[in-house]
Chain A
Amino acid sequence: MRCSFTTENSMSTIVNSGWRIGLIITISMALAVTGAFLLRKPVLHIDVPGARILSPPVRVPPFSLLDQKGQLFSNERLAGNWTLATVGFTYCPDICPTTLSEMSAVFKKMETVSGAFKMPRFVFFSVDPFRDTPEVLEKYLAYFRRDFIGVTGAPEAIQSFANELGLHYVYSDPEDGQLVDGVLQKPAIEDYAVIHATSVVFITPTGEMVATMAPPFKTDEVVSVFEKLRTHYGN
């Protein structure tokens, strides 16, 4: 009798503790899920026309180019600060000087509100290395802002860098709009035009392209997009 009681009792203990363990596991899992939900990075929404968040971000590929002083410009030069960048060419009479003027207004504005953050850098990647030598870029960029960086390099290096970032370009004959095949040789046409991407891209201090923005570049909109990106991804 006693024995059977003991057995019954221990049985109920086992059943009881099994139920408790199950409950503990269920609660822990629920807490873990809730915790993960609460701690996860909120999805970034930017409500500015023309601005696009890249999800997932695009890692800037290894590259080796030249700045306007003729010095090596490679991935290390993008480290530590945010980078705003665009592609273009100095022979461009309309879009490129417009974008550069707009970006110089953006940087001027950023200086007045930058108290809390490090100023980003601006890089103009030439996609016309046959005409845009470092010397040409140096004079051209300084006109818009002393600290703007101009980058050129070997046609192959520019092509692979631009393509990896989705900043496409092609040469054309301005007379009839005919496209020139390939970008590795200087087109035989005099005064050839360059059809090129017009976005400004945002690259984190760790070398990830996280957003793009299309023209026109209104000062307040670019500053607001940058502030949101910087707050979300960190300085």
Chain B
Amino acid sequence: MKRILGLLAIILFCPLLVTSSLAGDITVTDPWVREAPPGAKATAAYMTISNTSSRTVQLDSAASADFGMIEMHRTEMHDGMAHMKKQTGIRIEAGKNVQLKPGDFHLMLMQPHRSLKAGDQCALQLRFDNGESIAVQALVRKQ
């Protein structure tokens, strides 16, 4: 009986673990991918990355089986103009978190291999300079 309850608990809590991947010093919460409007050649992924370690960690790269290319970008506003700056990495200071959000840091997802619709899941692999590689299941949504 205990075993069955234990199994049940694992099954129930599994979805929570999927949306918030925990691996060592780095935690990714609330990952989501913007559903690409028809005709759009690129879309973006957003999330909050927390670094609980005592040293700065950098996101070095991201990959997904659903996209041919993923780059790290940041939208910056200067004099009312939006500039998109490619980032060589996204630094997360010790004990801090960085939000990837609309109008700021984001992963630019290019060359889609399949059309992702709101409600779909998109698997992303994030690699950090401390050697951690985190698998993230991001929910596809409209906004």
Contact = CB atoms under 8 A, between A and B. Distances in A.
B40 A94 contact: no
A143 B38 contact: yes
Nearest to A95: B82
Contacts of B82: 95, 195-198
A152 B37 CA distance: 18
Interface residues of B, number: 28
A95 B34 CA distance: 12
> What class of interface size applies to chain A in its complex with B?
35 or more
A145 to B, nearest CB: 11
B40 A195 contact: no
A199 B84 contact: no
B81 A195 contact: yes
A79 interface: no
B119 interface: no
Interface string B85-114: 110000000000000001100101110000
Contact of A198 (B37, B71, B77): B77
Nearest to A91: B41
A197 B81 contact: yes
Interface stretch (A1-9, A114-122, A168-176, A224-232): A168-176
B107 to A, nearest CB: 9
B55 interface: no
B39 A140 contact: yes
Interface string A181-197: 00000000001010111
B81 A90 contact: no
A175 B86 contact: yes
Given A168-B81, A193-B84, A199-B80, A93 B39 contact: no
Interface of A: 90-95, 97-98, 100-101, 131, 135-137, 139-140, 142-144, 168-169, 172, 174-177, 191, 193, 195-199, 214-216
Interface of B: 34, 37-44, 71, 73, 75, 77, 80-86, 102-103, 106, 108-110, 142-143
